[in-house]
């Protein structure tokens, strides 16, 4: 019963889109090709949901069919937008003639150039999504920032952090590309590597084939990590609570196998001589129905407001709701979670847009409030849609700088 409304909507879109093709292509064989492609894609998409999935998520063949279906759907939606607009104008013209003139003309026919424009514009998202699946998902970018702080200990002036987030290892399908990305991270030669959650999609063993590669990540002060919402197994239908708990324990052990120091509402000290930074890591805390296991008060116990602190918290809504105004004055928060929706338009330094910005105020890059910063990493991997368009997989490098007294 729940599928009736979506099916009716999809059929309505299909009818409108078909009219555009019918206007442009008069030959039966061209319309047959269009209908055949649609039927094959829909059929394979339905078939993919009857095939077993290794972690019962939108990955592999199922994800690719979903991506192709989405590409076609956006093409048709663009067509529907233009065609529907033209139909409104046609009806208004027809009504005007009937009411205010003696014309006996029928409803004006659709114009071919409108259909051509609709298909041309619709081809842009269609081809972009196909490119995103073919190339975009592994189009790794290093984004570098330099942030100044009044109270950064002098010994840490120039200290560099590489941040990774949202690996989602269960979605990977290209060992060579991941090996390239690991080498890219190590080439940054940062002082510390920080991973801000979502190692897997659902199950701990998704990481098994990738552990040898990710265990190669190295930094002078080590690799530290936290948990994201996907790491708890909440989106998988386990046979029992015992199985779910075992999967979670296995996931925690994976961090150890990688040689990463997992912070679960706790902190570590990064030391340079007599100076130190407090590295705080909390479990997932997110608004809007996401798990709130993060306990900043516990993790930051014993830390003073004047101390320099770096907080790792997976969901940026934690910073928005709690951290940016907290009395303990967290100078830098590192988050992920949003993926930048894996789709958007970004011209560095000029323009940045993605539909996810209507859900998260802080969704990609650096944000500041009263000298308190947050970086929202766009994510290393991908989930559901097996690609990225405009919002590329990210390796963040942040250099900490001490603001000179003359600047303060």
- The pLDDT, as a whole number, for residue 167 is 98
Mean pLDDT of the chain: 91
- 349: pLDDT confidence band, cut at 50, 70 and 90? confident
250: region left, alpha or beta (phi > 0 left; psi from -120 to 50 alpha): alpha
- The pLDDT, as a whole number, for residue 83 is 79
- The pLDDT, as a whole number, for residue 406 is 58
CA distance 232 to 245: 9
CA distance 216 to 185: 10
Asked if residue 407 has pLDDT above 60, the reply is no
Asked if residue 408 has pLDDT above 60, the reply is no
Q: What angle do CA 374, 133, 231 make, to 5 degrees?
A: 45
> For residues 394 and 137, is the Cβ–Cβ distance under 8 A?
no
- 250: pLDDT confidence band, cut at 50, 70 and 90? very high
Is 251 or 31 the better-scoring residue by pLDDT? 251
- The pLDDT, as a whole number, for residue 339 is 98
DSSP state for residue 205 in the 8-state scheme:
G
- The pLDDT, as a whole number, for residue 2 is 65
Least confident of 15-19, 233-237, 260-264, 331-335: 15-19
CA distance 321 to 197: 19
- 304: pLDDT confidence band, cut at 50, 70 and 90? very high
- The pLDDT, as a whole number, for residue 219 is 98
Least confident of 50-59, 140-149, 169-178, 333-342: 50-59
- The pLDDT, as a whole number, for residue 53 is 62
Q: What angle do CA 236, 395, 216 make, to 5 degrees?
A: 75
- The pLDDT, as a whole number, for residue 1 is 59
CA distance 239 to 179: 35
> For residues 266 and 299, is the Cβ–Cβ distance under 8 A?
yes
Q: Is the dihedral angle over the CA atoms 129, 133, 137, 139 positive or is it negative?
A: negative
- The pLDDT, as a whole number, for residue 85 is 82
Asked if residue 34 has pLDDT above 90, the reply is no
CA distance 362 to 357: 7
> For residues 387 and 133, is the Cβ–Cβ distance under 8 A?
yes
- The pLDDT, as a whole number, for residue 56 is 57
Least confident of 36-40, 106-110, 120-124, 186-190: 106-110
- The pLDDT, as a whole number, for residue 112 is 73
Q: Which fold has domain 141-402?
A: Purple Acid Phosphatase; chain A, domain 2 (3.60.21)
For 252-278, what is the mean pLDDT? 97
Tokens representing 41 are: 């894609």
Domains of the chain, by residue range, sit at: 4-134, 141-402
- 265: pLDDT confidence band, cut at 50, 70 and 90? very high
DSSP state for residue 110 in the 8-state scheme:
P
Tell which residue, 293, 285, 333, has the closest CA to residue 309. 333
Is 202 or 60 the better-scoring residue by pLDDT? 202
- The pLDDT, as a whole number, for residue 48 is 84
pTM for the structure as a whole = 0.90
Q: In what helix (H) or strand (E) does residue 73 lie, and over which residues does it extend?
A: helix 60-100
- 55: pLDDT confidence band, cut at 50, 70 and 90? low
pLDDT in tens, 98-130: 788 877 677 777 777 777 887 888 889 999 999
Q: Which residues face 266 on adjacent strands? A: 281
């Amino acid at each position: 019963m729940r599928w009736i409304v979506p099916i009716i909507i999809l059929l309505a879109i299909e009818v409108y889109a078909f009219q555009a093709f019918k206007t442009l292509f008069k030959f039966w064989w061209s319309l047959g090709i269009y209908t055949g492609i649609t039927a094959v894609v829909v059929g394979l998409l339905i078939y993919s949901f009857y095939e077993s999935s290794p972690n019962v998520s939108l990955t592999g063949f199922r994800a690719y069919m979903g991506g192709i279906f989405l590409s076609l759907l956006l093409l048709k939606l663009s067509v529907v937008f233009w065609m529907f607009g033209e139909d409104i104008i046609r009806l208004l013209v027809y009504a005007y003639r009937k009411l205010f003139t003696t014309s006996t003309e029928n409803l004006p026919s659709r114009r071919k150039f409108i259909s051509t424009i609709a298909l041309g514009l619709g081809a842009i998202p269609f081809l972009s999504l196909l490119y995103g699946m073919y190339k975009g998902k592994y189009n790794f970018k290093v984004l570098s920032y330099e942030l100044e702080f009044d109270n950064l200990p002098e010994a840490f002036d120039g200290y560099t952090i590489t941040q990774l987030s949202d690996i989602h290892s269960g979605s990977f399908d290209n060992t060579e590309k991941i090996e390239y990305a690991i080498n890219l991270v190590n080439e940054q030669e940062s002082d510390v590597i920080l991973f801000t959650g979502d190692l897997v999609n659902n199950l701990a063993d998704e990481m098994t084939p990738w552990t040898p590669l990710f265990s190669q990540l190295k930094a002078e002060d080590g690799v530290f990590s936290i948990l994201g919402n996907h790491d708890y197994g909440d989106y998988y239908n386990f046979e029992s609570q015992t199985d779910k708990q075992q999967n979670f324990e296995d996931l925690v052990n994976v961090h150890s196998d990688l040689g990463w120091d997992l912070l679960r509402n706790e902190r570590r000290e990064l030391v340079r001589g007599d100076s130190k930074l407090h590295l705080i890591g909390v479990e997932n805390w997110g608004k809007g129905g996401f798990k709130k296991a993060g306990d900043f008060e516990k993790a930051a116990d014993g830390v003073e407001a004047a101390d320099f602190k770096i907080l790792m918290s997976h969901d940026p809504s934690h910073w928005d709701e709690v951290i940016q105004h907290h009395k303990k004055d967290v100078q830098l928060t590192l988050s992920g979670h949003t993926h930048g929706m894996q789709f958007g338009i970004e011209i560095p330094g000029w323009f940045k847009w993605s539909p996810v910005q209507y859900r998260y105020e802080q969704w990609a890059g650096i944000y500041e409030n009263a000298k308190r910063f947050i970086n929202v990493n766009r994510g290393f991997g991908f989930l559901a849609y097996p690609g990225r368009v405009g919002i590329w997989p990210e390796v963040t490098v942040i250099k900490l700088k001490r603001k000179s007294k003359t600047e303060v």
